[in-house]
């Protein structure tokens, strides 16, 4: 077996493996390489383990370099997870060993490897995030019937406000409005709209945009999901504050779940949440089960696990100021910051 750095010539084989390997995810798809390079200028190395001429393991790596946050690597930035995906633990370890070599070449402070399972104990890991997943049925009414009566009542109350739902790739602008307003509320810089649009264009048959409108046709909440094997993958979601009292989140989540059932998916990954957060509590209302996520680190110049997240006290003032900025300002300035936050 040997570890190689893949070029575009291996895209077809790479994606074939990403679709067949049980340990691979939507974020292991080759298309993310061009998305990140084109929108952010981020350098990447896509490692593959080759045995007898065929791929038996993959590991995508992306380098993020900025004056604000320094020089670091991640698998995968901006999304739920990445990391090594291979036929065996030994193959994945070989990929991680090669990744350490890439980190040395890039001279990054550290590599952050996001996975759904614990890798070798040699890598320190943060366990502050969980993955929330719902088991689906062919009949969405079967999923609805499993919810608590109070939850079903809230869904019915929400629909009485006259919300209407649409899906389609043409809804990127309305999705961006909901997402950017929601992220400003939480003090998080937003991506450039071109990044989100390029994801839809790269995966025309593997992404779904859903927007909920009020009775006057104004966007109230929206989500972008990916599709991988038998799982609907929740990527980004935004709910506008003005519609929270009208329970628009209940309409959005139910439309997403119902649509995934109707499309034949067996599970819906609602995305990651911080442990014990309001997000985790809300997702559990839909009978979502929590699964531990692991942020592993290959430390080079750091002696401790980095804390590049909103819970770090040193970012508290910046987050407070960001929440007060006009939306147009956050949409203009945000992408210049968000591109460097994995």
Tens place of pLDDT per residue across the chain (342 aa) = 999 999 999 999 999 999 999 999 999 999 999 999 999 999 999 999 999 999 999 999 999 998 888 899 999 999 999 999 999 999 999 999 999 999 999 999 999 999 999 999 999 999 889 999 999 999 999 999 999 999 999 999 999 999 999 999 999 999 999 999 999 999 999 999 999 999 999 999 999 999 999 999 999 999 999 999 999 999 999 999 999 999 999 999 999 999 999 999 999 999 888 887 888 889 999 999 999 999 999 999 877 787 766 666 677 888 899 999 999 999 999 999 999 988
DSSP states of 90-110 as a string?
HHHHHHHHHHHHHHHHHT-SE
Number of H helices and E strands in the chain, helices first, is 11, 15
Please give the structure tokens belonging to residue 139: 């009949």
Predicted pLDDT of residue 308: 65
- 3-state SS, 134-181, equals EECCCCHHHHHHHCCHHHHHHHHHHHCCCCEEEECHHHHHHHHHHHHH
pLDDT value for 250: 97
Helix (H) or strand (E) holding 328: helix 327-338
Give Cα 61 to chain centroid, integer Å. 16
- The DSSP secondary-structure symbol of 167 reads E
* Burial classification of residue 319, based on how many CB atoms lie within 10 Å of its CB (0-12 exposed, 13-18 middle, 19 or more buried): middle
Nearest to 195 by CA among 18, 28, 37: 37
Q: Which two tokens stand for residue 271?
A: 């995305």
Confidence at residue 277, expressed as pLDDT on a 0 to 100 scale: 83
Contacts of 35 (CB under 8 A, 6+ apart): 195, 198, 199, 202
Residues 6 or more apart in contact with residue 87 via CB below 8 angstroms:
21, 56, 57
pLDDT on residue 304: 78
Instruction: Give residue 153's pLDDT.
Output: 96
> Phi-psi region for residue 169, left (φ > 0), alpha (ψ -120 to 50) or beta?
alpha
Q: What is the gyration radius of the CA atoms in the chain, in angstroms?
A: 20
Of the candidates 298, 243, 296, the residue with the CA atom closest to the CA atom of residue 99: 298
Tell me how far apart the alpha carbons of residues 235 and 224 are, in angstroms, rounded to a whole number: 6
State the pLDDT at residue 310: 65
Tens of pLDDT, residues 158-197: 999 999 999 999 999 999 999 999 999 999 999 999 999 9
Partners of 115 in the beta sheet?
294
CA distance 190 to 335: 6
Query: In this predicted structure, what is the pLDDT of residue 268?
Result: 97
Q: What is the pLDDT of residue 158?
A: 97
Confirm if 238 and 182 have CB atoms less than 8 A apart.
yes
Which tens digits make up the pLDDT trace of 52-103? 999 999 999 999 998 888 899 999 999 999 999 999 999 999 999 999 999 9
CA dist., res. 132 & res. 71, Å (int): 31
To the question of pTM greater than 0.85 for the whole model, the response is yes
CA distances from 49 to 63, 87, 98, 325 (A): 20, 10, 10, 47
């Amino acid at each position: 077996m040997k570890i190689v750095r893949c070029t575009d010539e291996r895209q077809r084989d790479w994606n074939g493996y990403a679709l067949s390997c049980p340990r691979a995810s939507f974020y292991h798809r080759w298309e993310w390489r061009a998305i990140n390079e084109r929108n952010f200028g981020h350098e990447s190395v896509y490692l593959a383990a080759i045995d007898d001429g065929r791929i038996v393991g993959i590991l995508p790596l992306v380098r993020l370099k900025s004056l604000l946050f320094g020089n670091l690597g991640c698998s995968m930035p901006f999304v739920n997870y990445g990391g090594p995906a291979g036929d065996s633990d030994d193959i994945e370890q070989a990929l991680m060993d090669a990744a350490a070599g890439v980190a040395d070449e890039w001279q990054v402070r550290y590599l952050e490897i996001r996975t759904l399972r614990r890798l070798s104990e040699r890598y320190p890991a943060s366990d502050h995030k969980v993955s929330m997943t719902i088991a689906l049925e062919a009949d969405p009414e079967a999923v609805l019937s499993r919810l608590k009566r109070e939850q079903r009542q809230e869904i019915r109350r929400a629909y009485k406000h006259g919300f209407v739902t649409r899906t389609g790739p043409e809804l990127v602008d309305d999705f961006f409005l909901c997402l950017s307003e929601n992220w400003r509320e939480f003090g998080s810089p937003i991506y450039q709209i071109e990044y989100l649009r390029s994801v839809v264009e790269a995966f025309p048959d593997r992404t779904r945009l859903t927007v909920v409108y009020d009775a006057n046709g104004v966007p109230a909440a929206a989500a972008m999901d990916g599709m991988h094997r038998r799982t609907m993958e929740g990527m980004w979601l935004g709910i506008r504050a003005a519609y929270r009292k009208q329970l628009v989140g209940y309409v959005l989540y139910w439309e997403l779940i119902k649509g995934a059932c109707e499309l034949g998916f067996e599970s819906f990954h609602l995305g990651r949440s911080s442990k014990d957060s309001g997000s985790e509590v809300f997702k559990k209302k839909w009978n979502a089960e929590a699964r531990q996520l692991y942020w592993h680190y290959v430390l080079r110049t750091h002696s401790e696990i980095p804390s590049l997240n909103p819970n770090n006290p040193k970012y508290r003032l910046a987050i407070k100021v960001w929440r007060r900025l006009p939306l147009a300002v956050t949409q203009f300035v945000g992408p210049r910051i968000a591109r460097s936050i994995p």
